[in-house]
Amino acid sequence: MFSLGDLRVPIVAAPMAGGPSTPELVAAVADAGGFGFLAAGYRTPDGLAEQISQTRRLTERPFGVNVFVPEPPGPDDRALADEVAVYARRLAPVAARFGSGLGTPVPSDDDWAAKLDVLADDPVPVVSFTFGLPPVAIVDRLHGVGTAVWATVVSADDAESAAARGVDALVLQGHQAGGHRGTFRASDDPPATDTLDLLDHVAARTPLPLVAAGGVSSPDAVGAALRRGTSAVQAGTAFLLADEAGTSATHRAALRNPAFTETVITRAFSGRPARGLRNRFADEFAADAPAAYPAVNQLTGPLKKASSAAGDPQWTHLWAGTSWRQAHAGGAAEIVRLLSGSS
Ligand SMILES: Cc1cc2nc3c(=O)[nH]c(=O)nc-3n(C[C@H](O)[C@H](O)[C@H](O)COP(=O)(O)O)c2cc1C
Protein backbone atom coordinates (compact mmCIF):
# COMPACT_ATOMS: atom_id res chain seq x y z
CA MET A 1 0.00 0.00 0.00
CA PHE A 2 1.19 3.53 -0.77
CA SER A 3 3.19 5.14 2.01
CA LEU A 4 4.19 8.79 2.33
CA GLY A 5 7.73 7.57 2.87
CA ASP A 6 7.76 6.47 -0.79
CA LEU A 7 7.64 10.08 -2.01
CA ARG A 8 10.81 11.44 -3.58
CA VAL A 9 9.59 15.01 -2.95
CA PRO A 10 7.27 15.69 0.03
CA ILE A 11 4.90 17.90 -1.97
CA VAL A 12 1.25 16.98 -2.52
CA ALA A 13 -0.83 18.94 -5.03
CA ALA A 14 -4.17 19.39 -3.27
CA PRO A 15 -7.38 18.15 -4.82
CA MET A 16 -9.15 21.24 -6.17
CA ALA A 17 -12.71 20.54 -7.27
CA GLY A 18 -14.54 22.80 -9.68
CA GLY A 19 -11.90 22.88 -12.40
CA PRO A 20 -8.32 23.48 -11.17
CA SER A 21 -7.40 19.79 -10.63
CA THR A 22 -6.79 18.06 -13.96
CA PRO A 23 -5.16 14.79 -15.00
CA GLU A 24 -2.39 16.90 -16.57
CA LEU A 25 -1.68 18.66 -13.26
CA VAL A 26 -1.71 15.41 -11.29
CA ALA A 27 0.59 13.68 -13.79
CA ALA A 28 3.06 16.57 -13.94
CA VAL A 29 3.32 16.72 -10.13
CA ALA A 30 3.70 12.93 -9.89
CA ASP A 31 6.38 12.84 -12.59
CA ALA A 32 8.26 15.59 -10.71
CA GLY A 33 8.44 13.29 -7.67
CA GLY A 34 5.48 14.72 -5.74
CA PHE A 35 1.95 13.38 -5.37
CA GLY A 36 -1.26 14.71 -6.92
CA PHE A 37 -4.97 14.29 -6.31
CA LEU A 38 -7.85 14.26 -8.73
CA ALA A 39 -10.93 15.95 -7.25
CA ALA A 40 -14.06 13.80 -7.44
CA GLY A 41 -16.22 16.58 -5.97
CA TYR A 42 -19.03 17.81 -8.32
CA ARG A 43 -18.02 15.26 -10.98
CA THR A 44 -20.20 12.43 -12.21
CA PRO A 45 -18.96 8.89 -11.43
CA ASP A 46 -18.33 8.35 -15.17
CA GLY A 47 -16.43 11.63 -15.34
CA LEU A 48 -14.30 10.51 -12.41
CA ALA A 49 -13.59 7.13 -14.04
CA GLU A 50 -12.55 8.91 -17.23
CA GLN A 51 -10.22 11.26 -15.33
CA ILE A 52 -8.58 8.28 -13.60
CA SER A 53 -7.99 6.56 -16.97
CA GLN A 54 -6.66 9.76 -18.48
CA THR A 55 -4.24 10.29 -15.58
CA ARG A 56 -2.97 6.71 -15.99
CA ARG A 57 -2.34 7.41 -19.66
CA LEU A 58 -0.22 10.42 -18.68
CA THR A 59 1.86 8.95 -15.82
CA GLU A 60 2.94 5.64 -14.35
CA ARG A 61 3.46 7.25 -10.96
CA PRO A 62 0.97 6.83 -8.08
CA PHE A 63 -1.78 9.43 -7.55
CA GLY A 64 -4.91 9.86 -5.47
CA VAL A 65 -8.59 10.78 -5.66
CA ASN A 66 -10.41 13.04 -3.19
CA VAL A 67 -14.06 12.47 -2.31
CA PHE A 68 -16.60 14.71 -0.54
CA VAL A 69 -18.37 12.97 2.35
CA PRO A 70 -22.09 13.85 2.26
CA GLU A 71 -23.73 15.23 5.39
CA PRO A 72 -26.67 13.16 6.65
CA PRO A 73 -30.07 14.90 6.76
CA GLY A 74 -30.49 16.92 9.97
CA PRO A 75 -33.39 18.12 12.12
CA ASP A 76 -32.90 21.72 10.93
CA ASP A 77 -33.22 20.94 7.21
CA ARG A 78 -36.75 22.34 6.85
CA ALA A 79 -35.82 25.61 8.56
CA LEU A 80 -32.67 25.78 6.45
CA ALA A 81 -34.71 25.37 3.25
CA ASP A 82 -36.72 28.44 4.29
CA GLU A 83 -33.49 30.36 4.88
CA VAL A 84 -32.25 29.31 1.44
CA ALA A 85 -35.46 30.68 -0.11
CA VAL A 86 -34.88 34.01 1.65
CA TYR A 87 -31.25 34.01 0.46
CA ALA A 88 -32.47 33.36 -3.10
CA ARG A 89 -34.61 36.49 -2.96
CA ARG A 90 -31.58 38.52 -1.83
CA LEU A 91 -29.45 37.15 -4.68
CA ALA A 92 -32.11 37.50 -7.39
CA PRO A 93 -31.30 41.10 -8.44
CA VAL A 94 -27.64 40.25 -9.04
CA ALA A 95 -28.56 37.11 -10.97
CA ALA A 96 -31.00 39.21 -13.03
CA ARG A 97 -28.19 41.61 -13.90
CA PHE A 98 -26.26 38.70 -15.43
CA GLY A 99 -29.40 37.16 -16.93
CA SER A 100 -28.26 33.90 -15.36
CA GLY A 101 -31.07 33.12 -12.96
CA LEU A 102 -30.37 31.01 -9.90
CA GLY A 103 -30.13 27.25 -9.52
CA THR A 104 -32.77 25.07 -7.89
CA PRO A 105 -31.57 23.31 -4.74
CA VAL A 106 -32.14 19.56 -4.88
CA PRO A 107 -30.97 16.96 -2.37
CA SER A 108 -27.61 15.54 -3.46
CA ASP A 109 -24.96 13.31 -1.92
CA ASP A 110 -22.58 14.04 -4.82
CA ASP A 111 -23.05 10.41 -6.01
CA TRP A 112 -21.20 9.11 -2.96
CA ALA A 113 -21.98 5.39 -3.39
CA ALA A 114 -21.36 5.32 -7.14
CA LYS A 115 -18.01 7.10 -6.76
CA LEU A 116 -16.92 4.61 -4.12
CA ASP A 117 -17.91 1.81 -6.51
CA VAL A 118 -15.68 3.37 -9.18
CA LEU A 119 -12.81 3.50 -6.67
CA ALA A 120 -13.37 -0.07 -5.49
CA ASP A 121 -13.62 -1.44 -9.06
CA ASP A 122 -10.62 0.45 -10.41
CA PRO A 123 -8.45 1.22 -7.37
CA VAL A 124 -6.02 4.12 -7.07
CA PRO A 125 -3.15 4.23 -4.55
CA VAL A 126 -4.76 6.80 -2.20
CA VAL A 127 -8.30 8.05 -1.56
CA SER A 128 -8.65 11.12 0.64
CA PHE A 129 -11.89 12.42 2.11
CA THR A 130 -13.10 15.85 3.15
CA PHE A 131 -16.28 17.31 4.72
CA GLY A 132 -16.54 14.30 7.05
CA LEU A 133 -15.17 10.87 7.81
CA PRO A 134 -15.71 7.70 5.79
CA PRO A 135 -17.50 4.93 7.72
CA VAL A 136 -15.21 2.11 8.89
CA ALA A 137 -16.81 -0.22 6.30
CA ILE A 138 -15.65 2.12 3.51
CA VAL A 139 -12.13 2.34 4.98
CA ASP A 140 -12.05 -1.47 5.10
CA ARG A 141 -13.41 -1.75 1.57
CA LEU A 142 -10.70 0.55 0.20
CA HIS A 143 -7.99 -1.21 2.20
CA GLY A 144 -9.28 -4.46 0.74
CA VAL A 145 -8.44 -3.26 -2.78
CA GLY A 146 -5.00 -1.97 -1.72
CA THR A 147 -5.91 1.72 -1.40
CA ALA A 148 -4.52 3.87 1.42
CA VAL A 149 -7.11 6.15 3.06
CA TRP A 150 -6.43 9.73 4.16
CA ALA A 151 -8.85 11.96 6.07
CA THR A 152 -8.93 15.76 6.12
CA VAL A 153 -9.28 17.29 9.59
CA VAL A 154 -9.28 20.83 10.98
CA SER A 155 -8.80 20.08 14.70
CA ALA A 156 -7.07 17.63 17.03
CA ASP A 157 -10.47 16.25 18.12
CA ASP A 158 -11.39 15.52 14.49
CA ALA A 159 -7.97 13.92 14.06
CA GLU A 160 -8.66 11.49 16.91
CA SER A 161 -12.06 10.61 15.43
CA ALA A 162 -10.40 9.95 12.06
CA ALA A 163 -7.68 7.80 13.62
CA ALA A 164 -10.39 5.70 15.29
CA ARG A 165 -11.82 4.90 11.83
CA GLY A 166 -8.55 3.26 10.82
CA VAL A 167 -7.29 5.79 8.27
CA ASP A 168 -3.66 5.70 7.19
CA ALA A 169 -2.78 9.41 7.23
CA LEU A 170 -4.30 12.74 8.18
CA VAL A 171 -4.43 15.89 6.07
CA LEU A 172 -4.32 18.75 8.57
CA GLN A 173 -6.02 21.80 7.17
CA GLY A 174 -5.05 25.00 8.94
CA HIS A 175 -6.78 28.35 9.01
CA GLN A 176 -4.75 29.74 6.08
CA ALA A 177 -6.06 27.17 3.60
CA GLY A 178 -7.78 28.21 0.37
CA GLY A 179 -11.08 26.72 -0.74
CA HIS A 180 -13.57 24.89 1.44
CA ARG A 181 -12.69 24.14 5.01
CA GLY A 182 -12.92 20.47 5.85
CA THR A 183 -15.34 20.82 8.76
CA PHE A 184 -17.50 17.74 9.29
CA ARG A 185 -20.72 19.81 9.17
CA ALA A 186 -21.59 22.84 7.06
CA SER A 187 -22.81 24.59 10.20
CA ASP A 188 -19.50 24.11 12.05
CA ASP A 189 -17.38 27.22 12.23
CA PRO A 190 -13.84 26.13 11.42
CA PRO A 191 -11.30 26.77 14.19
CA ALA A 192 -8.85 29.56 13.42
CA THR A 193 -5.87 27.31 14.12
CA ASP A 194 -2.67 28.09 12.27
CA THR A 195 -1.40 25.17 10.15
CA LEU A 196 1.83 24.65 12.16
CA ASP A 197 -0.01 24.86 15.49
CA LEU A 198 -2.51 22.27 14.26
CA LEU A 199 0.45 20.09 13.35
CA ASP A 200 1.76 20.32 16.93
CA HIS A 201 -1.66 19.63 18.47
CA VAL A 202 -2.33 16.59 16.30
CA ALA A 203 1.19 15.14 16.50
CA ALA A 204 0.81 15.11 20.28
CA ARG A 205 -2.33 12.96 20.03
CA THR A 206 -1.78 10.47 17.22
CA PRO A 207 1.18 8.62 15.72
CA LEU A 208 -0.36 8.68 12.20
CA PRO A 209 1.63 10.25 9.34
CA LEU A 210 0.55 13.86 8.83
CA VAL A 211 0.20 16.06 5.75
CA ALA A 212 0.07 19.77 6.56
CA ALA A 213 -2.10 22.03 4.38
CA GLY A 214 -2.83 25.73 4.45
CA GLY A 215 -0.65 28.65 3.46
CA VAL A 216 2.24 26.49 2.33
CA SER A 217 3.29 28.25 -0.87
CA SER A 218 7.04 28.86 -0.52
CA PRO A 219 10.17 26.78 0.15
CA ASP A 220 10.45 28.46 3.56
CA ALA A 221 6.91 27.42 4.50
CA VAL A 222 7.56 23.86 3.26
CA GLY A 223 10.79 23.70 5.27
CA ALA A 224 9.08 25.03 8.42
CA ALA A 225 6.32 22.40 8.17
CA LEU A 226 8.80 19.57 7.57
CA ARG A 227 10.88 20.65 10.57
CA ARG A 228 7.71 20.51 12.71
CA GLY A 229 7.26 16.86 11.79
CA THR A 230 4.87 16.70 8.84
CA SER A 231 5.56 13.88 6.37
CA ALA A 232 4.60 16.08 3.42
CA VAL A 233 2.75 19.31 2.69
CA GLN A 234 -0.43 19.62 0.64
CA ALA A 235 -0.50 22.83 -1.38
CA GLY A 236 -3.50 24.06 -3.35
CA THR A 237 -3.15 27.77 -3.98
CA ALA A 238 0.50 27.35 -5.03
CA PHE A 239 -0.72 25.32 -8.05
CA LEU A 240 -3.68 27.50 -9.11
CA LEU A 241 -1.60 29.36 -11.71
CA ALA A 242 0.14 26.22 -13.02
CA ASP A 243 -0.04 25.76 -16.79
CA GLU A 244 -1.65 22.34 -16.29
CA ALA A 245 -4.30 23.54 -13.83
CA GLY A 246 -7.85 24.04 -15.06
CA THR A 247 -8.23 27.33 -13.14
CA SER A 248 -10.55 29.68 -15.03
CA ALA A 249 -9.19 32.78 -16.77
CA THR A 250 -11.19 35.03 -14.44
CA HIS A 251 -9.82 33.27 -11.36
CA ARG A 252 -6.24 33.43 -12.71
CA ALA A 253 -6.54 37.13 -13.50
CA ALA A 254 -7.94 37.88 -10.03
CA LEU A 255 -5.06 36.03 -8.34
CA ARG A 256 -2.64 38.36 -10.15
CA ASN A 257 -4.72 41.51 -9.76
CA PRO A 258 -3.27 43.87 -7.11
CA ALA A 259 -6.77 45.28 -6.52
CA PHE A 260 -7.50 42.16 -4.44
CA THR A 261 -5.84 42.71 -1.12
CA GLU A 262 -7.15 40.01 1.22
CA THR A 263 -8.88 36.67 1.55
CA VAL A 264 -11.94 35.91 3.69
CA ILE A 265 -13.69 32.79 4.91
CA THR A 266 -17.38 32.90 4.02
CA ARG A 267 -20.43 30.69 3.45
CA ALA A 268 -21.79 33.16 0.87
CA PHE A 269 -20.89 31.11 -2.21
CA SER A 270 -21.74 27.56 -1.20
CA GLY A 271 -23.22 27.41 2.30
CA ARG A 272 -19.97 25.90 3.65
CA PRO A 273 -17.11 27.98 5.03
CA ALA A 274 -14.49 28.53 2.32
CA ARG A 275 -11.58 30.92 1.88
CA GLY A 276 -11.26 33.06 -1.21
CA LEU A 277 -10.29 36.51 -2.41
CA ARG A 278 -12.54 39.13 -0.89
CA ASN A 279 -14.88 40.49 -3.57
CA ARG A 280 -18.32 42.14 -3.71
CA PHE A 281 -20.21 38.84 -3.43
CA ALA A 282 -18.40 38.04 -0.18
CA ASP A 283 -18.90 41.55 1.16
CA GLU A 284 -22.60 41.84 0.33
CA PHE A 285 -23.82 38.34 1.15
CA ALA A 286 -21.58 36.81 3.81
CA ALA A 287 -23.91 37.88 6.61
CA ASP A 288 -27.02 36.40 4.93
CA ALA A 289 -25.80 33.03 3.72
CA PRO A 290 -27.37 30.06 5.49
CA ALA A 291 -25.21 27.07 6.48
CA ALA A 292 -26.95 24.92 3.85
CA TYR A 293 -24.65 22.84 1.67
CA PRO A 294 -25.02 21.86 -1.15
CA ALA A 295 -28.25 23.91 -1.44
CA VAL A 296 -26.51 27.32 -1.49
CA ASN A 297 -23.89 26.01 -3.90
CA GLN A 298 -26.61 24.84 -6.27
CA LEU A 299 -28.46 28.14 -5.90
CA THR A 300 -25.46 30.32 -6.69
CA GLY A 301 -24.06 28.04 -9.43
CA PRO A 302 -25.50 29.81 -12.52
CA LEU A 303 -24.64 33.28 -11.17
CA LYS A 304 -21.04 32.33 -10.35
CA LYS A 305 -20.66 30.69 -13.76
CA ALA A 306 -22.08 33.73 -15.60
CA SER A 307 -19.87 36.16 -13.68
CA SER A 308 -16.79 34.06 -14.39
CA ALA A 309 -17.69 33.64 -18.07
CA ALA A 310 -18.14 37.42 -18.37
CA GLY A 311 -14.66 37.95 -16.91
CA ASP A 312 -16.19 39.71 -13.89
CA PRO A 313 -14.42 38.58 -10.67
CA GLN A 314 -16.91 40.27 -8.33
CA TRP A 315 -19.78 37.76 -8.35
CA THR A 316 -18.00 34.44 -8.44
CA HIS A 317 -15.92 32.49 -5.95
CA LEU A 318 -12.16 33.05 -6.19
CA TRP A 319 -10.80 30.40 -3.85
CA ALA A 320 -7.37 31.28 -2.52
CA GLY A 321 -5.36 30.72 0.63
CA THR A 322 -3.74 33.52 2.61
CA SER A 323 -0.44 33.06 0.75
CA TRP A 324 -1.96 33.56 -2.71
CA ARG A 325 0.53 36.28 -3.60
CA GLN A 326 3.28 33.64 -3.58
CA ALA A 327 1.60 31.56 -6.30
CA HIS A 328 3.74 31.30 -9.44
CA ALA A 329 2.69 30.77 -13.03
CA GLY A 330 4.54 28.11 -15.02
CA GLY A 331 4.80 24.36 -15.33
CA ALA A 332 3.66 22.29 -12.34
CA ALA A 333 7.00 20.40 -12.27
CA GLU A 334 8.78 23.72 -11.86
CA ILE A 335 6.39 24.68 -9.02
CA VAL A 336 7.16 21.36 -7.29
CA ARG A 337 10.90 22.07 -7.62
CA LEU A 338 10.44 25.61 -6.38
CA LEU A 339 8.42 24.55 -3.32
CA SER A 340 10.90 21.84 -2.45
CA GLY A 341 13.76 24.32 -2.64
CA SER A 342 15.54 22.49 -5.46
CA SER A 343 15.38 25.19 -8.13
C1 LIG B 1 -9.54 26.11 -5.67
C2 LIG B 1 -9.48 25.14 -4.54
C3 LIG B 1 -10.31 24.02 -4.55
C4 LIG B 1 -10.24 23.08 -3.50
N5 LIG B 1 -10.98 21.93 -3.58
C6 LIG B 1 -10.80 20.94 -2.65
C7 LIG B 1 -11.39 19.67 -2.82
O8 LIG B 1 -12.08 19.39 -3.80
N9 LIG B 1 -11.17 18.73 -1.86
C10 LIG B 1 -10.36 18.98 -0.77
O11 LIG B 1 -10.18 18.08 0.07
N12 LIG B 1 -9.78 20.17 -0.60
C13 LIG B 1 -9.96 21.16 -1.52
N14 LIG B 1 -9.30 22.36 -1.37
C15 LIG B 1 -8.48 22.59 -0.16
C16 LIG B 1 -7.10 21.97 -0.33
O17 LIG B 1 -7.19 20.58 -0.18
C18 LIG B 1 -6.10 22.47 0.73
O19 LIG B 1 -6.59 22.26 2.02
C20 LIG B 1 -5.74 23.92 0.57
O21 LIG B 1 -5.59 24.29 -0.77
C22 LIG B 1 -4.45 24.19 1.32
O23 LIG B 1 -4.23 25.56 1.48
P24 LIG B 1 -3.51 26.49 0.37
O25 LIG B 1 -4.57 26.75 -0.64
O26 LIG B 1 -3.11 27.69 1.17
O27 LIG B 1 -2.37 25.71 -0.19
C28 LIG B 1 -9.36 23.32 -2.40
C29 LIG B 1 -8.56 24.46 -2.39
C30 LIG B 1 -8.60 25.37 -3.43
C31 LIG B 1 -7.69 26.56 -3.40
Per residue in 8-55, pLDDT tens?
A: 999 999 999 999 999 999 999 999 999 999 999 999 999 999 999 999
Q: Is the Cβ atom of 127 under 6 angstroms away from ligand 1?
A: no
CA of 166 from ligand 1 middle (Å) equals 23
Q: Is the Cβ atom of 237 under 6 angstroms away from ligand 1?
A: yes
The strand pairing partners of 179, in sequence order, are: 275
Confidence of residue 303 (pLDDT cuts 50, 70, 90): very high
Tens-digit pLDDT profile for residues 228-258: 999 999 999 999 999 999 999 999 999 999 9
Confidence of residue 306 (pLDDT cuts 50, 70, 90): very high
| 235 CA closest ligand 1 atom index | 27
Look over the chain and give the mean of its residue pLDDT values, rounded to a whole number: 97
Q: Is the Cβ atom of 216 under 6 angstroms away from ligand 1?
A: yes
Residue 336's pLDDT is 98
Name the nearest CA neighbour of 323 among 220, 228, 203, 250.
220
CA-nearest residue for atom 15, ligand 1, is: 179
Confidence of residue 91 (pLDDT cuts 50, 70, 90): very high
CA-nearest residue for atom 10, ligand 1, is: 15
C-alpha to C-alpha distance for 254 and 311, rounded to whole angstroms? 10
DSSP class per residue in 301-340: HHHHHHHHHTT-TTSS--B--TTGGG---B-HHHHHHHHT
pLDDT of 80 strictly over 90: yes
Residues 307-329 have a mean pLDDT of: 98
CA-nearest residue for atom 12, ligand 1, is: 15
Q: Is the Cβ atom of 176 under 6 angstroms away from ligand 1?
A: yes
Q: Is the Cβ atom of 39 under 6 angstroms away from ligand 1?
A: yes
